[in-house]
């Protein structure tokens, strides 16, 4: 089971990274902006570190957008409702298992 989880995590990370690289290769303007930000903040005399994360808003926005757009796992983990609720005239009792469809949450069109 552990090996299955490990391989599952590798595949998701690899696929997300592949899509992010593919997106940036097809959008040279975005690639240039990321490059300019890295040159301005990091320069050419050192490697990027996790401490640089907050200083790279454009790169972070690009990574977040590529993860949102890629959406490799469209369903979330089921959760029980914590109270009785009504959504769009549908009554959902407390304790009902619900699964958020992430692709719907991530896209409004």
- Does the predicted model carry a pTM greater than 0.85? no
Q: Is residue 97 domain-shared with residue 68, that is, in the same domain? A: no
Structural domains in the chain (count): 2
Tell me, what's the pLDDT at 46? Answer: 95
Residue 81's contacts (CB-CB under 8 Å, 6 or more residues apart) are 92, 93, 94, 95, 96, 98
Q: Is residue 105 domain-shared with residue 85, that is, in the same domain? A: yes
Q: Is residue 5 domain-shared with residue 45, that is, in the same domain? A: yes
Q: Is residue 83 domain-shared with residue 33, that is, in the same domain? A: no
User: pLDDT tens across 20-39, in order?
Assistant: 999 999 999 999 999 999 99
d(CA 62, CA 55): 14
Residues of the chain below pLDDT 70: 1-9, 74-75, 109
Name the residue range of residue 4's domain.
1-73
Q: Is residue 79 domain-shared with residue 109, that is, in the same domain? A: yes
């Amino acid at each position: 089971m552990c090996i299955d989880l490990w391989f599952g995590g590798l595949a998701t990370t690899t696929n997300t990274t592949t899509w992010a690289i593919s997106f940036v290769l097809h959008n040279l303007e975005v690639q240039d902006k990321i490059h300019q930000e890295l040159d301005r903040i990091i320069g050419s005399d050192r490697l990027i570190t996790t401490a640089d994360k907050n200083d790279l808003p454009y790169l972070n926005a690009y990574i977040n957008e590529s993860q949102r757009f890629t959406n490799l796992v469209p369903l979330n983990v089921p959760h029980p409702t914590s109270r009785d609720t009504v959504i769009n005239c549908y009554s959902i009792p407390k304790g009902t298992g619900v699964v958020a469809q992430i692709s719907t949450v991530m896209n409004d069109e």
